């Protein structure tokens, strides 16, 4: 072996030795905190008290046989000083340990267990039979306003938004006596008419498994929760001296957190009772089943032969919900606090609500409609050691802020012909939560039964286009989801004759909507859908409906008596003449005015008419509605009558108002085209007045008819109605 080879070998062993030495130093430096004081115990739970106000802490640990032995467990502070404790109960899954710890900010306390020593058959303990003599915590706050809440949402809102906390007291139980400080609050109540919000809390021992019923007796309203589940609601109208009992709940033997929320302006008097599996009548809660107040103390579980211990904490962020949606989203940031003495980067796996998993070290998870939830953290290091930690999170008093999101389609005409181009856009806007996760399900059904659909994750704001001919489309659907919850949805239906799927139309903006909130696009054939020539062949009634607005409508209204004297045949009752005015644009500010004509046509079909007379164009002329758009409105009005009734249709061509002969002509031509293509009659006032001199029919304004114009129009209208009805009448 050469000198060079010998040097290489020596350097290699020096390198290995350095690694071993560094590992030993790491092990020596990274010892558990606090130090492991008792080697005879294989496991321990490290914790800090929940609050400085209550020296008692209740710990929920996995069951171990050592808890059934006297001396099988020990409780100490971080310096190894013994603490009094008591094993309250055990079941198949857990052991519940009550520890009396001296208070101190940031101090650690330890419960050791897992020893094989001790006497069998004796419940473990610390030598003292300790008990919390005041296990019920009472928090009293000034309530805003003067009302008594009758829903949990209102009670929660008042509690979260209430004023300063006036008292925190610890009581031996739920009592119906005036508690300390009540006299002072009663005086404030009388002076200022104030209300008080009261929250009472304890950890309740249920020794038996089975069905329990809980009951409350108090003044005004109260809500009772067991581990975040509402078990009793007392209404303000119930008698003060009577128990209010909730529905039965199935419970396993164990310890549960009991919360009571109460609002009153009177003296505080509240009793809690229950019906246990062994009883049939309501009895007050006995003192021995109320262990302590607060909640279970979070602890870190450790094993003496493991260098890896899982633990975590969390930070609740502002919960939120969306307008018109009942689901509350509660984002929570989790912080891993893993104790490891060998591996600085162990693998983690979190399990959240609904078996949702994450492998991030400090994840953020959004809970939905949560009351209380359990979160599990599992860790594994490179040596193969594994550990886990499970904790419960309380969302009972999470008051959400309200956000807004809206999805709608743009660029769709309310009425169109089959060959018209459709260039639509789905647009989604709104408040964007910090957890910006959105899913969009979007589908288009075509008239030839083809379907296009896709699901994708999106960010807001969002836009997507779709285009084609009106005749190509049948239906468009979309759903907007946030964390798999449907927040908004929409639907567009392209409706063709006979329009029998539409029972009622409403107008919002520039669109039609049915009773289910779906957007409606009405397709009217260019040539119409066919009409019968005489109502005599249809066995229709004798009702004539005049539908319109503007000066023509006022003339007919003024001379309505003339129309009521029209008789369809000799020796028969006069025709029933009715009038329907287009809805006022001012009365429907949410609607695009020109569309109101179409809804009036639907109203006309409800009268079972034999003839419908339309007079439109004046409002459209005054507001400069595009003539092509007006023509489509007139077409769908005509087709709706043909599809939904046995009535004939007759149009009145608008006259040249105000001497605006050229500007009125496109609207008059649109009516004439509709009448010609559908082979229906039209009273052409435009051509007649232009031929005879429009100035002869109007007053000096050129808008309102003079007496001659009113008489002439009445004669023409009566004559044309008689033609359609085949009878006689007097139009003088």
Distance CA(178)–CA(654), nearest Å, equals 82
Whether 718 and 569 map to the same domain: the answer is: yes
User: Domain with 701 in it: what CATH number?
Assistant: 3.40.50.1110
Q: How many CB atoms lie within 10 A of CB 39?
A: 8
- Dmax (CA) of the chain: 139
β partners of residue 402: 321
Residue 670 lies in a domain: yes
Structure tokens at 543: 């009702």
Cα distance between residue 227 and residue 244, in whole Å = 19
Domain-located, residue 211? yes
Confirm whether 422 is domain-assigned: yes
C-alpha span between 204 and 215 (Å, rounded): 14
Indicate if 561 and 682 belong to the same structural domain.
Answer: yes
CATH number at residue 237: 2.60.120.1560
3-state secondary structure of 9: helix
* DSSP bridge partners of 73: 113
- Token output for 108: 């650690």
Would you say the C-alpha torsion 524, 528, 533, 538 has a positive or negative sign? negative
Q: How far is CA 451 from the centre of its chain?
A: 30
DSSP, res 278: T
Give the whole-angstrom CA distance, residue 110 versus residue 75: 6
- CATH number for position 507: 2.60.40
628 Cβ contact partners less than 8 Å away, ≥ 6 residues apart: 670
**Which of 351, 386, 401 is a domain's end point?**
401
Please state the length of the chain. 732
The Cα angle at residue 473 between residues 470 and 477, in degrees rounded to 5 = 130
DSSP letter at 105 equals T
Q: Can you give the three-state secondary structure of 170-223, one letter per residue?
A: EECCCCCCCCCCHHHHHHHHHHHCCEEEEEEEEEEEECCCEEEEEEEEECCCEE
DSSP string of 323-365? TT----EEEEEEEE--EESS-SS-EEEEEETTTEEE--SS-EE
Instruction: With a cut of 70, list the residues of the chain below it in pLDDT.
Output: 1-31, 50-52, 103-106, 117-128, 145-146, 163-166, 175-194, 266-267, 341-343, 434, 528-541, 567-573, 585-587, 658-659, 726-732
Residues 382 and 328 in one domain: yes
User: Is residue 320 included in any domain, yes or no?
Assistant: yes
Q: What is the pLDDT of residue 161?
A: 78
Query: Looking at residue 505, what is its pLDDT?
Result: 78
Residues 310, 172: one domain?
Answer: no
Q: Under a CB-based contact definition with an 8 Å cutoff, are residues 457 and 439 in contact?
A: yes
Residue 29 confidence (pLDDT): 41
Residues 6+ apart with CB under 8 A from 472: 422, 446, 447, 448
101, 130, 159 - which closes a domain? 130
What is the side-by-side strand order in the sheet with 56-62?
56-62, 94-100, 85-90
Evaluate whether 274 touches 289 at the Cβ level (below 8 Å): no
* Residues 719, 578 within the same domain: yes
Domain range spanning residue 313? 306-401
Q: Assess if residue 56 is contained within a domain.
A: yes
Query: pLDDT (tens digit, 9 = 90+) per residue, 68-111?
Result: 877 889 999 888 888 999 999 998 889 999 998 876 556 889 99
Q: For residue 7, what pLDDT is reported?
A: 44
**Residue 625 and residue 478 share a domain:** no
Phi/psi region, residue 269 (left: phi>0; alpha: psi -120 to 50; beta: rest), is: beta
Which helix (H) or strand (E) element contains residue 554? Answer: helix 550-558
Cα separation, 248 vs 245, whole angstroms: 9
How many whole angstroms from its chain centre is CA 643? Answer: 39
Domain count, the chain: 5
Say if residues 565 and 479 touch (Cβ distance below 8 Å): no
Would residue 245 count as lying in a domain? Answer: yes
Return the CATH number at 365. Answer: 2.60.40.10
Residue 19: what pLDDT? 41
Tokens at 15, concatenated: 């390198």
H or E element, residue 60: strand 56-62
Check whether residue 387 and residue 413 sit in a common domain.
no
Looking at 99, 130, 161, which one is the last position of a domain? 130
Q: Are residues 418 and 391 in the same domain?
A: no
Based on the domain organization, do 517 and 561 belong to the same domain?
no
Amino acid 626: pLDDT: 92
Tokens 């009883």 belong to residue: 279
Do 250 and 180 lie in a common domain?
yes
Do residue 375 and residue 503 come from a single domain?
A: no
* Token pair listed for 13: 């062993």
Residue 529 covered by a domain: no
Residue 195 lies in a domain: yes
Q: Is the bond leading into 486 cis (omega within 30 degrees of zero)?
A: no
Residues 586 and 569 in one domain: yes
Closest by CA position to 455, among listed 445, 440, 466 = 440
């Amino acid at each position: 072996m050469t000198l060079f080879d010998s040097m290489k070998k020596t350097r290699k062993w020096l390198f290995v030795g350095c690694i071993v030495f560094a590992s030993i130093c790491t092990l020596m430096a990274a010892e558990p905190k606090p130090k492991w004081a008792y080697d005879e115990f294989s496991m321990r739970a490290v914790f800090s008290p929940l609050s400085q106000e209550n020296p008692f802490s209740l710990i929920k640990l996995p069951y171990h046989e050592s808890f059934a032995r006297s001396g099988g467990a020990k409780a100490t502070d971080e310096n190894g000083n013994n603490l009094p404790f008591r094993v309250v109960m055990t079941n198949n899954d857990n052991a519940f340990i009550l520890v009396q710890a001296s208070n101190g900010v940031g101090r650690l306390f330890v419960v050791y267990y897992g020893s094989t020593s001790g006497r069998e058959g004796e419940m473990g303990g610390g030598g003292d039979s300790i008990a919390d003599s005041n296990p019920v915590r009472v928090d009293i706050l000034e309530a805003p306003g003067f009302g008594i809440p009758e829903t949990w949402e209102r009670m929660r809102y008042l509690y979260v938004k209430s004023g300063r906390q006036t008292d925190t007291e610890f009581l031996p139980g739920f009592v119906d006596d005036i508690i300390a400080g009540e006299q002072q609050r009663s005086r404030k109540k009388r002076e200022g008419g104030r209300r008080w919000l009261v929250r009472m809390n304890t950890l309740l021992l249920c020794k038996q498994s089975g069905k329990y019923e809980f009951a409350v007796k108090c003044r005004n309203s109260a809500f009772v929760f067991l581990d975040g589940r509402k078990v009793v609601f007392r209404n303000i109208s119930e008698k003060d001296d009577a128990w209010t009992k909730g529905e039965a709940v199935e419970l396993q033997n164990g310890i549960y957190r009991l919360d009571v929320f109460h609002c009153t302006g009177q003296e505080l008097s509240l009793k809690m009772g229950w019906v246990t599996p062994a009883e049939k009548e309501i009895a007050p809660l006995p003192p021995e089943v109320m262990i302590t107040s607060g909640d279970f103390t979070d602890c870190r579980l450790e094993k003496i032969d493991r260098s890896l211990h899982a633990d975590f904490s969390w930070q609740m962020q502002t919960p939120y919900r969306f307008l018109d949606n009942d689901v509350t989203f509660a984002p929570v940031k989790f912080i891993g606090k893993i104790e490891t003495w060998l591996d600085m980067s162990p693998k983690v796996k979190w399990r959240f609500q609904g078996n949702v998993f994450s492998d991030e070290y400090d994840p953020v998870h959004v809970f939905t409609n949560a009351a209380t939830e359990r979160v599990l953290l599992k860790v594994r290091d490179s040596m193969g050691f594994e550990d886990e930690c499970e904790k419960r999170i309380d969302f009972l008093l999470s008051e959400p802020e309200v956000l807004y999101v809206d999805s709608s389609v743009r660029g769709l005409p309310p009425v169109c012909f089959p060959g018209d181009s459709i260039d639509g856009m789905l647009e989604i806007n709104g408040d964007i939560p910090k957890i910006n996760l959105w899913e969009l399900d979007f589908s288009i059904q075509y008239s030839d039964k083809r379907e296009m659909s896709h699901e994708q994750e999106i960010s807001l704001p969002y836009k997507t286009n779709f285009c084609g001919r009106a005749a190509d489309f049948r239906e468009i659907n979309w759903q907007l989801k946030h964390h798999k919850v449907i927040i908004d949805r929409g639907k567009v239906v392209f409706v063709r004759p006979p329009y029998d799927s539409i029972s009622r139309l409403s107008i919002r903006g520039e669109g039609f909507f049915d009773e289910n909130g779906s957007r409606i696009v009405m397709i009217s054939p260019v040539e119409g859908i066919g009409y019968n020539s005489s109502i005599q062949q249809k066995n229709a009634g004798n009702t004539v409906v005049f539908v319109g607005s503007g000066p023509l409508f006022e003339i007919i209204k003024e001379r309505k008596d003339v129309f009521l004297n029209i008789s369809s045949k000799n020796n028969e009752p006069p025709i029933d003449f009715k009038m329907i005015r287009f809805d006022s644009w001012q009365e429907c500010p949410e609607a695009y005015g020109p569309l109101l004509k179409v809804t009036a046509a639907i109203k006309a079909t409800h009268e079972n008419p034999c003839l419908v007379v339309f007079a439109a164009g004046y409002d459209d002329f005054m507001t400069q509605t595009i003539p092509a758009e007006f023509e489509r409105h007139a077409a769908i009005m005509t087709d709706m009558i043909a599809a939904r009734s046995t009535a004939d249709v007759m149009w009145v061509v608008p006259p040249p108002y105000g001497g605006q002969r050229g500007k009125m002509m496109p609207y008059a031509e649109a009516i004439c085209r509709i009448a010609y293509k559908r082979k229906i009659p039209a009273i052409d006032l435009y051509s007649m007045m232009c031929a005879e001199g429009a100035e002869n029919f109007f007053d000096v304004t050129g808008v309102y008819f003079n007496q001659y114009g009113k008489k002439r129009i009445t004669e023409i209208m009566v004559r044309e109605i008689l033609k359609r009805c085949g009878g006689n009448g007097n139009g003088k």
